[in-house]
Structures are given as C-alpha cells and as structure tokens.
Amino acid sequence: MKIEALIVVAVLALSAAFAGAANAADPTHVFVVNTQDASVSLVELAGMKEVRRIPVGAQPYGLAVTADGEKLAIGVEGEEKVKFLDTTTFEVKGEVPIGKMHNDHVILSADGKHILVANYYSDDVIGIDAATMKEGFRIKETSAPHVIKYGPLRKNAYVTCKKITGIAIVDPAVRKLVKFHQINVNPRSLTFSDDETKLYFGSFWVDGFFEMETGSGKVTRLFALDPPKDNRTPREVTYHGVEAIGNNIVLAANEGRSYIDAVDATTGKLLDRLTDVSSPCCIERIPGSGDGKVQVLVSNIGDGTLQLVEVSREGKLRSIARARVGKGPKRVSFFAPARAPSTPSP
C-alpha cells in the first residue's frame, strides 16, 4: 500500500475514533428503561421530550449503547435474555440467552468491545461480544452481582454483591476477579472519588451513605443525613442512586423519602436538598456538562419522569425540566445518533 493511502486510512481511523469520543462526550439523546411497562424511552436532551417509546419485552432493566452507536443492548429479564436493537429502526438485531435474571445491570466495557452483564443468579459477570452479539466470557465468583460500574481510571469495574455482601473488583480486559471485599451491609449503587481511592454506596434501612477504601475494602465513614421531622418513620428503602460530580460533591437519591441530597464528601456537610422529585431511583451525570455547573438526570419511579437537574459548583440543586416517560424509569444510556431515529407510523 502506498504511503498516501496509508495516511488516508490513518486519518479515517482517527476521524472515526474522534466521532466515537464525541458521541460519548456530547450526547444529544438518552435511552431510559421503563421497568414497569416493558419499554424503553428515547428522550431528546435539548427539549427534555420523549421522542419514541419502544416495546422491548417484559421486565427490562439494564441497557447500554454500543461504541459505534448502532445498537442498544437491553437486559429483558422476563425473557431471560439480552436483546440488541438497531438504534435507527429499533428492529431486533440479535438476542443472547442469559438464564434467570434479577435486576441485572448492563454496561459497555472500557474498550467498547463487550457488553458486560452483572448476572445475579449465576454469580457471574458475563461478557457479550458487541460485534457478533454472542457470549464471549464469564467472570465467576462475584456472589449475586447487581450493580456494575467502572471507576474513573477505566481499568477495573466494581460490582455490588448481594449474597456474600460486598464489593467485587473485576478486570474485564483480562477477564478475571481481581479482589473481593466482604462488608457487613448490603450495598446499593456505586460512585467514586476522582482518584478512585474511595467509593460511595447506599444501603437499606440507613439514612445516609457509606465511604469505602477501594484498596483495603475498609468502610471508613457513614455520611448520616437526618430526614425531615415529619418523615422519620423507619424505612427499608432509603438512599439508592449515588453520583459523584467533582469538587468532592456526592449526590444521593433518597428513593423512599423522595428527595436528593448534595453532600460535601470531605466534610460530610449537607449542601442542599431537592424535594421536587418523586421517588428518585437513579442519578446519572450528563457527559460533557461543565463550566462550573453540572447537569444530571434523575429517574423518578414515583411519577414516571426523567428529570434534568443542575448542580452548581457549591452543590446547590435546581430542577430544570422533566420528560414524561414510561412507568418505573430507572437505568439510562446516553446517545448521539448519526442518523435521525425512525418514527412510528401514524
């Protein structure tokens, strides 16, 4: 091959890489799974409006867009499989049988080559080849895995475990369990300090969330957050979704008591509390948001909405807009379509 041709190939490869990075960093849309009505909603972020609702099968839960933006992988627990949908036509492109599933989280691997499924019943993290839509590997001994999420360093993925309660650390690139930290509480959701030396998680029956050292597995702090005087009845479901957003601020969604707290993770100080929510479950930072103000999406399972919330540098919370979606919205996956998604026939 001539040098000129090699240069062209290299430029095209770089262009594709930058296009993929732009899709990840600057999404225009988001998919949200509606766990209680067998569907996924596609929401346009600019107007916070649902533009499409796609039937996917009973009890959908985890979902992830592939690195090329062409497929959406969805864990359909009622059918015990992961389905791959075309992100333009929403036709089913492939299916991978998983077996019995229970609130299985789904993410894209750091290299973009696999869909990772934290499968509660098999005690495995399952890797599905994103190109072939076939099962590629299993990482075992993760003890009823539920949430799976990469740390900021994008090497190891961290998994909440429900039978032997703890946090598993896996390296999907080499397909192995790196470490298992057994803890005495049942962890819910995960987020991290910027340097990945600490992670934060909620639990059941606790009005607060915990800090754990990722190296030692030692739980070092409980950020205790007093509920309002008129809302102090003990509850099993308290803090669920947590999301670190920089400047040592952690957002924590109290699903049972219906508010979101912004907390300084250095001092433990409560910075703000947003009550204009409805049984908030998940919080996800919108990639690319910044300039001193971060935007996050909140899944409100109480009223079936996806809510846009702005967080100031000082940790003040402000509700911006809501999109009406399906029943029981939870997990989201961001998306920048190369082509306009198709609309259903009238």
pLDDT tens digits, one per residue of 184-212: 999 999 999 999 999 999 999 999 999 99
Q: Domain for residue 346, yes or no?
A: no
Instruction: Please compute the mean of the pLDDT values over residues 58-72 and round it to a whole number.
Output: 97
- The structural domain count of the chain equals 1
Residue 156 has pLDDT above 50, yes or no: yes
**Which of 68, 305, 281 has the alpha carbon at shortest distance from 189?**
281
Summary mean pLDDT of the chain: 91
User: Tell me, what's the pLDDT at 85?
Assistant: 98
Of 14, 25, 70, the C-alpha closest to 337 is: 70
Q: What is the pLDDT of residues 10-41, one digit of tens each?
A: 333 333 333 333 345 689 999 999 999 999 99
Checking if the pLDDT of 95 tops 50, the result is yes
Domain membership flag for residue 341? no
- For residues 290 and 188, the model is more confident at 188
- Residue 130, domain member (yes or no): yes
Q: Check if the beta carbon of residue 278 is closer than 8 Å to that of residue 302.
A: yes
Whether 216 is covered by a domain: the verdict is yes
Confidence of residue 290 (pLDDT cuts 50, 70, 90): low
CB-based burial label for 44 (10 Å; 0-12, 13-18, 19+): middle
Q: Let me know if residue 9 belongs to a domain.
A: yes
Please determine, for residue 302, whether its predicted confidence score (pLDDT) is greater than 90: yes
CATH code of the domain in which 117 resides: 2.130.10.10
| Domain residue limits at 299 | 3-335
Q: Is 342 domain-assigned?
A: no
Q: Is residue 14 part of a domain?
A: yes
The closest of 47, 72, 46, 1 to 341, measured between CA atoms, is 72
**Is 281 a member of any domain?**
yes
Residue count (the chain): 346
